[in-house]
A and B are shown apart, each in its own frame.
Chain A
Amino acid sequence: MNFELSEEQKMIQQSVERFVQENYDLSDRIKISSENPGYSKDYWNSMAELGWLGLAFDEEDGGFGGNQIDTLVLMEQFGKGLVLEPFLANIVLAGGAIKRGASKALKESIIPKLIEGNLQLTLAYAEEQSRFDIEDVATAAREDAGNFIINGKKSMVLNAESADKVVVVTRTSGSQVDINGISLFLVDLDSEGIERDNFPTVDGLRASEISFKDVEVSAENLIGEKDKGFSILQEVVNDAILALSAEAVGAMEVLYKDTVEYTQQREQFDHPLSDFQVLQHRMVDMFMEYEQCKSLLLRATMETVQDPVSSQRTVHALKHLIGKSGIFVGESAVQTHGGMGVTEELRIGHFFKRLLVIDSQFGNSDFHLEKFTNT
């Protein structure tokens, strides 16, 4: 057993940490978030130049042959600045599906451009009725003379506003909640019949509802085998859970440290707040939750690298704990900061909102507890 990062990973960690420190204080983030496209294209290009976008792709696809641990290193640091660039949508979600299931030709036409930062992608999986059940897919893809015709509606699609293409999870056979009969397609977002309804999200990011009306896509754009897309989707969602959990751990670290610092400076009743035992204990609890989340994050990530199927139960455990502890740490930071915590002026409120959103993505804390106990 070894918990040490490799020398290369340590170097990347330091370089991401520096990037976040230099570019992501609260006012920078608010400015980037409020202007189109909601992230910095310059930063995205820098990430490409620094090689971060290619870390988790195989060498034969043009990547650096890394794995989920490399993504963890990036995402944990991203979490300390609430980085807005669409790494999750592009690399973990769409890229994750393509690298696992696309044909050689499709990979060759997509992955190099993705790694260079010249193509924007996303994944559309959730639907209005599905809540957190990823197998609940009503959007239909009907075969028609060698092509597929897609009809339906997808919800809460990240980065869709600026994406060129989307990986769409569709139903090609079976009942609406059957894990068999799910197929994934890569579709141009400017195809005829696609409409996007874009809106901001509470954490300063953006999402869209996308409707598909008789959208035609060729069979070459099928990712994985027809009807057998679920296992790819499940692995991609697990990777997303690991990535978001790493981001959450970074965010929790900021929250507990900011809170400790604030209570040492703020005086009430002629004492720094940090003198009060009730607040000390709460901060110890925040610190404990952070450490426990980090432990389970490492455990779930290392298990997934070893075997992405048998790690499933630990991934459920992780997302449960991240959701519950993230909100606890966020609420506690706000409460301990008093009135200032409830404003947009301090960064802690923004970190709290991000943790709230993370709990609502890819299954909340209750959902994964149930999955965990049933697995």
Chain B
Amino acid sequence: MDIDLSKEDLAFRDEVRSFFEDSKIKDGEDYFSWREGWFKKAREKGGWDVPKWPAKFGGPGWTPTQHYIWEQETAKANIPFDLPFGLGMLAPILMNYGTEEQQQRFLPDIRDRKVNWCQGYSEPGAGSDLANLKTKAVLSEDGTHYIVNGSKIWTTLAHIADWIFCLTRTDDSGIKQQGITFLLFPMKQEGIEVKPIITLGGSHTVNTVHFTDVKVPVENRIGEEGKGWTYAKGLLEHERTGLAGLSKSLVELEQLKDKARTVQRGNGNLMDDASYKSKVGELEIDLLATEFTELRSLASAAAGGEPGPESSILKLKGTEIKQRIQKLTVEASGIYASAWGDKGAGPSFAKGGTAGYLNSRYFTIYGGASEVQKDIVAKKVLGLTSSKSK
């Protein structure tokens, strides 16, 4: 056992750091042209614009440790924003199950950040029980297209998306997981209505989307009709482990301490307050452990094995940690925790902190609620069965 990074890994870390340093945005530089240039330079580094893509599709083909280093460094550096839907969610499905024609049609635009995608999975009646989805796709008599009718909910950024990847039901005669078909279609067309959902933090990120007789050509279907669940499932598991966000939490924890230090208490500051300090301490201890749980999981993946049972707790612990950081930000705001609106009052972190805390309640709900995650751990890791059919 050895806690040190290898010489090669250290060299890689330095290379990443100096790349971030050299490609920083300059004072007065236009954000969007910088962003475009940044991805171009990252691409020239050998696929750094698509770090998670396999080498076969132009990715860097990093080892798990290199991925970990990248994640740590990106959490600290100022790099351009990126949305996960096309790059991280749809692309792997296209790579694994799409035809060559589909890959050539969609992957380049995803890589160039030209097309915004959204994910059409959850429905009003299909949340944790996603396979219960009912949005209907009916194949036309001549077999050239599907007609889609139904509703999706919690569709993140549907209001700015150009395309959607969507789970639809083409057959309801078998068990729920069968008869689901994976379709891709443009969002800006007749028959699609997007309505905002305002979340507790006061922001508009998620939507409901209604489909009325939306026509989708058969060549926009991924894989076989009725097998969509199999394709989506792999992605869901990917989503569930990818949500821990520990590197970012480590950075946010340090920021939290900085904020708390600006809150004067007597001759000291809030980080001298016994109960506040001990909550920050407990949080940090959990984070230290979870970070190593993630590393153990990476190490077994690096050794070529399947991720061990420890990986199943990463989303559970990671999301809970993120929520606790938000909660402690609210507590640091003191009497100003309730200040709202454009002006607000109190320290600069007060208003954003409370909105962040309220929206953070979503972390233990989306991508598989914690209760469902624990059911999966109980069943798959501990081998427990339930007397009720859950």
Q: Give A contacts to B, CB under 8 Å.
A: 126, 128-132, 155-156, 197, 199-203, 205, 207, 209, 267-271, 275-276, 278-279, 331, 334-335, 338-339, 341-345, 349, 352-353, 356-357, 359-361, 364, 366, 369-370
Q: Which 4 A-B pairs have the closest CB atoms?
A: A360-B337, A268-B129, A201-B338, A357-B338
Q: Give chain B residues whose Cβ lies under 8 Å from the Cβ of A267.
A: 125
CB–CB A345/B330 < 8 A:
no
Given the interface contacts A199-B339, A202-B338, A202-B340, does A366 sit within 8 Å of B276 by beta carbon? yes
CB–CB B330/A356 < 8 A:
yes
- A–B pairs, 20, beta carbons within 8 Å: A155-B346, A199-B343, A200-B340, A201-B340, A202-B339, A202-B358, A207-B338, A269-B389, A275-B388, A335-B369, A339-B127, A339-B366, A345-B198, A352-B200, A353-B200, A356-B338, A357-B337, A361-B335, A366-B273, A370-B274
B344 at the interface (CB under 8 A from A): yes
Complex interface residues of chain B between 350 and 367 (CB less than 8 A to chain A): 354, 357-359, 361-362, 364-366
Min CB–CB distance A174 → chain B (angstroms): 16
**Cα–Cα distance between A197 and B206 once the two chains are bound (Å):** 33
B192 at the interface (CB under 8 A from A): no
CB–CB B200/A344 < 8 A:
yes
Complex interface residues of chain B between 242 and 290 (CB less than 8 A to chain A): 263-265, 273-276
Q: Give chain B residues whose Cβ lies under 8 Å from the Cβ of A339.
A: 122, 127, 153-154, 206, 362, 365-366
- Residue of B127, B342, B345, B374 contacting most chain A CB atoms (<10 Å): B345
Total contacts A-B at CB 8 Å: 136
Q: Give chain B residues whose Cβ lies under 8 Å from the Cβ of A207.
A: 338-339, 345
Q: Give chain B residues whose Cβ lies under 8 Å from the Cβ of A202.
A: 337-340, 354, 358
Given the interface contacts A131-B265, A268-B129, A275-B388, does A343 sit within 8 Å of B200 by beta carbon? yes
CB–CB B365/A276 < 8 A:
no
Given the interface contacts A278-B371, A344-B198, does A156 sit within 8 Å of B336 by beta carbon? yes
CB–CB B344/A131 < 8 A:
no
CB–CB B335/A131 < 8 A:
yes
Q: Give chain B residues whose Cβ lies under 8 Å from the Cβ of A130.
A: 335
Q: Give chain B residues whose Cβ lies under 8 Å from the Cβ of A345.
A: 197-198
**Cα–Cα distance between A13 and B274 once the two chains are bound (Å):** 42
> Nearest CB to that of B278 among chain A residues?
A366
Q: Give B contacts to A, CB under 8 Å.
A: 122, 125, 127-129, 132, 153-154, 197-200, 202, 206, 263-265, 273-276, 330-331, 333-346, 354, 357-359, 361-362, 364-366, 369-371, 374, 388-390
CB–CB A276/B390 < 8 A:
yes
**Cα–Cα distance between A130 and B199 once the two chains are bound (Å):** 32
**Cα–Cα distance between A137 and B142 once the two chains are bound (Å):** 80
Given the interface contacts A203-B338, A341-B361, A353-B358, does A269 sit within 8 Å of B390 by beta carbon? yes
Given the interface contacts A156-B338, A209-B345, A360-B333, does A269 sit within 8 Å of B129 by beta carbon? yes
**Cα–Cα distance between A370 and B337 once the two chains are bound (Å):** 20
Min CB–CB distance B129 → chain A (angstroms): 4
**Cα–Cα distance between A129 and B129 once the two chains are bound (Å):** 49
Given the interface contacts A201-B338, A270-B389, does A366 sit within 8 Å of B333 by beta carbon? no
CB–CB A132/B200 < 8 A:
no
Q: Give chain B residues whose Cβ lies under 8 Å from the Cβ of A268.
A: 127-129, 132
Choice from A131, A343, A361 contacting B197 with Cβ under 8 Å:
A343
Choice from A275, A342, A359 contacting B359 with Cβ under 8 Å:
A342
CB–CB A156/B335 < 8 A:
yes
Q: Give chain B residues whose Cβ lies under 8 Å from the Cβ of A129.
A: 264
Min CB–CB distance B31 → chain A (angstroms): 29
Q: Give chain A residues whose Cβ lies under 8 Å from the Cβ of B361.
A: 331, 334-335, 341-342
CB–CB B199/A344 < 8 A:
yes
Choice from B198, B273, B339, B344 contacting A343 with Cβ under 8 Å:
B198
Choice from B128, B342, B362, B388 contacting A342 with Cβ under 8 Å:
B362
Q: Give chain A residues whose Cβ lies under 8 Å from the Cβ of B390.
A: 269, 271, 276
CB–CB A366/B331 < 8 A:
yes
New contact pairs (19) apart from A199-B345, A269-B128, A335-B369, CB-CB < 8 Å: A130-B335, A131-B334, A132-B334, A155-B335, A156-B336, A156-B339, A197-B343, A199-B340, A202-B340, A207-B345, A276-B390, A335-B361, A339-B365, A342-B200, A342-B361, A343-B198, A356-B337, A360-B333, A360-B336
